[in-house]
Amino acid sequence: MQRLTASCLLLAMVASVAYSAVILDNGAPIKWADSAAQLTDLPVENGILNPNPWNFVHRMGFYRLLIAATDPYMGSMGTGATESPLWGLPLQFGWMQTSGRLADPTGATTCGLPTGDLTCISPQSWWGCVNHFVSVLPFLSAAQQGLFGPGVQVIMQVPEGSEGYCTNYADCTTSYADVMAKWDAFFQGLKASTESTLPDNEKKDAILGLYWAAHMASLHEAKNCKDKQSHYSGPEVNFASSWLNSAEYVSAANFQSSLDKSIMFLTPLPGRVLKDGDSAPNIADLSQEENHTLSVFSWMKSMDTILLGSLSGMWRSAMCSVTTREKGREMLEQLLLNPSYATNTFLSIITEMTTSC
């Protein structure tokens, strides 16, 4: 198992606050120790990898294998063992599971419920559907690009109820050509980066740009999951929309979603599925930090709607250089993690940064 290192200060901070979201298990993503450490830990049939992407441990294994395969190319991210931007994916996936968002929202089965099988990801889950695009698709792309070695073939299992999801590289490329092309470009660019003569900060920025282009292409396919939102409450649907919208800001700043950074951003997310009547910042059984995060997400989405998309557009325009993207990442940390950071300060700085581009 890859050694995980997080700063003592960060772990002390996380341990000292009353957040409800659970994203770590002994310092690693949820079920990390049970997931595949090598390809042969996944099911194999006739020499072809045949994992079940609707099994939580199998899907977590995709992330563990992806991180191990790409780490040799991540030197520009920093000297630590957990600087890769891919760490944000398994941590986010773990939060979805522990907060109940991968369970069957229809109530027709016990898939994903404590009374049923907690390793089950419901094909009816909107969150599980969206995560399919940032787990299965990059894993298939990485295999095609030789990250796991030459000639590795993968065909995903199709358990009952999961029909309609792509299962192999050719299938996914036919259905989601742009998404697969961007993941291919990320893995190709990552391998090529070892020969680059750019300074490390520029090389890192270029790699993060390719990563977020692929990540956002995947998230934009969430429209294919929209019909599954009918199973959720209004507050949960609004939160899901705000959560997607927040990714526009994170991606434009080329956020380095390392283990430590991702912990800070994911820990304050709501630790349960939202119900009718939930209204931040006054949800009694959620922490102050969770209420604050929900309020900020809602504000950003509302402002974007009121301004006809110009807030996110202004933000993307302001993220016009390596320097402004570095400043943008600092601003996002302040906005999401510091309750005293005023939203009008955020707006004024964006306006100032946009004019300097």
Cα dihedral 49, 54, 60, 63 in deg (nearest 10): 60
Residue from 295, 325, 300, 323 nearest 311 by CA: 300
pTM reported for the whole predicted model: 0.90
Q: What does each of the 357 residues of the chain score in pLDDT, given as a tens digit?
A: 444 433 333 333 333 334 457 899 999 999 999 999 999 999 999 999 999 999 999 999 999 999 999 999 999 999 999 999 999 999 999 999 999 999 999 999 999 999 999 999 999 999 999 999 999 999 999 999 999 999 999 999 999 999 999 999 999 999 999 999 999 999 999 999 999 999 988 899 999 999 999 999 999 998 999 999 999 999 999 999 999 988 998 999 999 999 999 998 899 999 999 999 999 999 999 999 999 999 988 888 888 887 777 788 888 888 988 888 988 888 888 877 776 766 667 767 777 776 667
Cα dihedral 337, 338, 344, 350 in deg (nearest 10): -50
Q: List alpha helices for 34-164, DSSP H.
A: 56-70, 88-98, 126-133, 136-144
DSSP 46: T
Residue from 90, 112, 109 nearest 99 by CA: 112
Q: Cβ(162)–Cβ(54) under 8 Å?
A: yes
Q: Cβ(9)–Cβ(15) under 8 Å?
A: no
Segment 164-169 long-range contacts (CB within 8 Å, at least 24 positions apart)? 165/53, 165/123, 165/129, 165/132, 165/136, 166/136, 166/137, 168/140, 169/140, 169/141, 169/143, 169/144
Residue from 195, 246, 221 nearest 135 by CA: 221
Using CA atoms, how far apart are residues 251 and 257, in angstroms rounded to an integer? 10
